[in-house]
Structure 1
Amino acid sequence: MNDVLITGLGVISHLGSGLDAFWQGLSAAQSAPSRVPDPDARMDLPLMYAVPEADLPRGPERYGDLVLGRGSRLAVEAAAQAVADAGLGDVPPHRVAVVIGTGMGDSGLHEEWRTAGRPGPGPWSPVFSVASAVGSWFGAEGANSSVSNACAASGFGLSLAADLIRSGEADVVVAGGAEAYSRVALACFNRLGAIDPERCRPFDRHRKGTLFGEGAGMMVLESAAHARARHAPRSYAKLAGIGWSCDAHHATAPEPTGVQITRAMRQALAEAGAGREEVGCVVPHGTGTELNDTVESQVLNTVLDTGPDRVPLYSLKALLGHTGGAAAALATVAAAQILYRRTVPPNVVTGEQDPECKVFLPTAALPLAGRFALVNAYAFGGNNVSLVLQEAGV
């Protein structure tokens, strides 16, 4: 079976655009949501972690007849960064695939047209065209797939990308996730009563819900053989283990015993050959919703013995908000950087940690103590995925 390496990274988020801005933002551990500048966002708490205006890509606006919305433009920008970072040269187009996870696609574009009217006549543009946009930009003639199972979308997408490489269907996959501002997404969280009125506060005793964020995290995945043959300039990490499960407990609420997320974590760790003492960091799903944080904390203690000073968690959503279908991809970019730099960044300080969430959230940077990092992503309908990354030199 081909090893799957991450050889390029690209990212755009609330912290800005580019890998350096992302790591600097993680290291600073400070951010705050803002009110969305949309007069049609008529809801109680129209707050989100937005990409700064100066960092929003202005294009491309279309490919051929396909009009691109904000989600596609974020994805193309992050993909361009990842491809440049990987130093990719000429790859036969039929050996390149694209897999993008997104919960909302370009729905924001359709919302604009519904409110203000379409700017002119032209062909219909589908909502879920993000993978096609990235594939068109790169000239990828392999599989171009959008995965859209809510907040775990890009985790499942990265899993599918790895399968394309392991099965020999592709040598290179441009993969990740993208999510942009959408009234539908904000309205969904508002109607569920799952919006925190202050900020996203995972594992905080006084958390009231999550807050939506936007951004894109993209990776170049390659077979180890292909990376060696082209003398890739670097490899950030190996995607070494994948675990899927579905509890189908409730349309929106997590299964309270954590049986199925336990299964996904253990499956990913077993596939990677990672003993619990070798896991140096966890990037949890950690949404800031009451039950999700409690259940995930309990399962992490069971699977990894993550008690108060054991395995550090890096709570990314406390900094970026809940980026929906892009969340797992952005978490994987963070985990790959943690492994590559051998450093766990400081967490955003919690007001008071929930005593039911017995996990280690260091507020100062720590040297990474293990060879593996675990990333978790969960979604509506009980779609659960865990990914294990391994330091690339092993």
Structure 2
Amino acid sequence: MTGVWVTAMGLVAPLRPFDTIDAFWGALTRGEDSIKLQAPPLLNEKKKWLTAAIETEQDLQPEDKFFYIAEAALKMAIVDSRLSAEELQGADMVIGSILGNVLSRERQLIDGNIQNRTAEASLSYPVRYLGQRFAIGGRLSAISTACASGTDAVGIAARSIATGEAEVVIAGGIDVLSDFALAGFNLLQALTEDKVRPFDKKRTGLALGEGAAFLVIEAERHALARGAKCYGRVLGYASRADASHLTAPHREGRGLASAITAALSQSGLRQYDINYINAHGTATVYNDLMETKAIKLALGEAAYTTYVSSTKSMLGHAFGASGVIEALCALMAINTGVIPPTINYRYPDPQCDLNYVPNTAKATPVGAAMSLSAGFGGQNAAVIFGRPPQI
């Protein structure tokens, strides 16, 4: 994949929400944790859950919060891009989300208003709404591939640029906390009541989070013509399915390894060229083990010299938004030469034996970084970024 640039970024995450990306990155690389005990979004229950929630000045319902953080993150990316109104009118947009605006339906069900069905309670409504709100006039697409949704949105946008189908594509991921998701992950016994400890021997599960992130992905020639900056180049992307189980990952990491291998082949890089992997790293027992096996299967001996970290240890699992947030983190690692840590890592697991950057950020040049996602139904995606030309 050649000639594909990332020219702008926008982010609202639980860590330093509504602040600059530099402020977010500073907090993340210092190992600050946004996960804490909090009440569920809607249901009036005494039990609190470990979650990474975004605090807003107003007390917003989940369906309103979804659009509030989405608009803030998208506006940040558009301002950063310096795209003209005419260029936005011709731009495409693809958004990855697991729940989309079905949260409005959740509110109706909780309120007992089961007869009121609206077109807004759909996965496609957010991209249509945001397209109209910001006058983005190209092709608008919604994608929901479980926890790989955000990474797939970035990859599909990059592929559209690489094939010449588009000159500018805005790729985003949005999701917020909901009672539906909390109840579902709790039934699967995937939630922790302890610290989130990715790859640690004593890991006990994940914490759910929320967020909105957008990347402006642009054809190199178009970006050069308008004098745009470049945060990094998209070098490779692949999506693969385990075809194994509805929720559990393939125990040997077959699908994720295949996605890594295909993305690496497309990038033209060798296994040892990948300096950093932002892992899916949920801190569930089987997912972390599967991901470790997949990385070793795809990278061979190079897996042991590649830095790996899980930013979910600080941000929680933001569903479909995670892939774009973590892609942004991979780009920031390239631009700053700092790899964020995996916090709460205390007890090495002999079966998870890679270099997980424990507890303290690592300052080192990053020439190429990979971001990984693995979701229910065996949905796996890998995207590889390279240095911008000015670095």
* TM-score (norm. length: structure 1): 0.90
Match of 2:200 among 189, 198, 204: 204
SS at match of 1:347: coil
- Which residue does the alignment assign to 1:170? 166
1:148 is aligned with what amino acid? Answer: S
Match of 1:26 among 25, 28, 33: 28
**Is residue 14 of structure 1 aligned with residue 14 of structure 2?**
yes
After superposition, the C-alpha distances for 1:14-63 in whole angstroms (9 at most, x for unaligned) are 10223123202212212132213546165966331101234x797xx9xx
The alignment status of 1:35 with 2:38, answered yes or no, reads: yes
Structure 1 position 370, deviation (Å)? 4.0
| Structure 1 residue 94 displacement after superposition | 5.1
Deviation of the 1:321 alpha carbon? 0.7
State the alpha-carbon separation in 2 of the partners of residues 303 and 263 from structure 1: 7
Rounded to whole Å, the distance in 1 between the matches of 2:46 and 2:188 is 12
- Seen in structure 2, the aligned counterparts of structure 1 residues 3 and 353 have a Cα distance that, compared at 3 Å, is same
Matches within 5 A, 1:39-54: 40=43, 46-54=49-57
Contact 2:104/2:121 (CA < 8 Å) preserved in 1?
no
1:390 aligns with 2:390: no
Distance 1:113 1:159, change over 3 A: same
Looking at structure 2, the residues matched to 294 and 228 of structure 1 have their Cα atoms a distance apart, in angstroms, of 43
**2:282 paired residue number:** 287
Aligned pair 1:127/2:127, yes or no? no
Note the 1:222-371 alignment, pairs <5 A.
222-232=218-228, 234-305=229-300, 310-362=305-357, 363-371=359-367
Shift of 1:2: 5.6
**CA 1:193–1:346 in structure 2 vs 1: closer, same or farther (change >3 Å)?**
closer
The secondary structure found in structure 2 opposite 1:53 is coil
* Partner-residue secondary structure (3-state), 1:349: coil
State the AA in 1 paired with 2:30.
A
What do the CA deviations read for 1:117-149 (whole angstroms, capped 9, x no partner)?
77xx99642232221122112211211111111
SS at match of 2:236: strand
CA distance in 2 between partners of 1:33 and 1:93 (Å): 38
In the TM superposition, what is the alpha-carbon distance from 1:91 to its structure 2 partner?
A: 3.3
Change (3 A) 1:243 1:107: same
State the one-letter code of the partner of 1:156: D
Q: Could you say what secondary structure the match of 2:370 adopts?
A: strand
- CA change 1:110–1:291 in 2 (3 A) is same
Deviation at 1:304, TM superposition (A): 2.8
Shift of the 250–308 alpha-carbon distance from structure 1 to 2, 3 Å rule, reads closer
- Number of residue-to-residue matches in the alignment: 383
In the alignment, the residues of structure 1 paired with residue 63 and residue 129 of structure 2 have an alpha-carbon distance, to the nearest angstrom, of 7
**Using a 3 Å threshold, how does the CA distance of structure 1 residues 123 and 103 change in structure 2: closer, same or farther?**
closer
Aligned-pair CA distance for 1:252: 0.4
Aligned residue type for 1:191: L
Whether the aligned pair in 1 keeps the contact of 2:40 and 2:179 (CA below 8 Å) is: no
- Measure the CA separation in 2 of the matches of 1:319 and 1:390: 25
Opposite residue 78 of structure 1, the aligned amino acid is: A
The one-letter code sitting in structure 2 at the alignment partner of 1:189 is F
1:238 Cα deviation from its structure 2 partner: 0.7
- Please report the RMSD computed on the Cα atoms of aligned residues, expressed in angstroms: 2.5
Q: What's 1:97 paired with?
A: 92
Q: Taking structure 1 as reference, are residues 38 and 277 closer, same or farther at Cα in structure 2, changes over 3 Å only?
A: closer
In structure 2, give the amino acid aligned to 1:34: L
| SS of equivalent to 1:106 | helix
- Name the counterpart of 1:64: none
Give me the whole-angstrom Cα distance separating, in 2, the residues matched to 1:182 and 1:41: 13
Q: Residues 279 and 145 of structure 1: is their aligned pair in 2 closer, same or farther, counting only changes over 3 Å?
A: same
1:339-392 per-position Cα deviation (integer Å, ceiling 9, x unaligned): 111221233131313221101122333233441101111111111111001111
Identity of matched residues, %: 28
CA shift digits 1:305-357 (9 cap, x unpaired): 57896211121110111111111111001001111112212331313132211
Structure 1, unaligned runs of 5 or more: 62-66
Consecutive unaligned residues in structure 2, runs of 5 or more: none
The residue number in structure 1 matching 2:65 is 70
CA distance in 2 between partners of 1:300 and 1:57 (Å): 42
How many angstroms apart in 2 are the aligned matches of 1:123 and 1:98?
23
CA–CA separation in structure 1 for the residues paired with 2:85 and 2:320: 30
Shift of 1:87: 1.8
Measured against aligned partners, the alpha-carbon deviations of 1:82-132 in whole angstroms (never above 9, x if no partner) come to: 1111222233455201101000112333323333477xx996422322211
Amino acid at match of 1:131: V
1:389 is paired with a residue whose SS is: strand
Whole-Å Cα distance in 2 between the matches of residues 177 and 244 of structure 1? 16
- One-letter code of the match for 2:53? A
Q: SS at the partner of 1:336?
A: helix
- Kept after mapping to 2: 8 A contact 1:283/1:313: yes
Deviation at 1:208, TM superposition (A): 1.5
CA contact (8 A) 1:99 1:175 kept: yes
Does residue 148 (structure 1) correspond to residue 144 (structure 2)? The answer is: yes
Distance 1:287 1:104, change over 3 A: same
In structure 1, C-alpha distance between the alignment counterparts of 2:39 and 2:59, rounded to whole Å: 18
Residues 93/333 of structure 1: CA separation in 2 closer, same or farther (3 Å cut)? closer
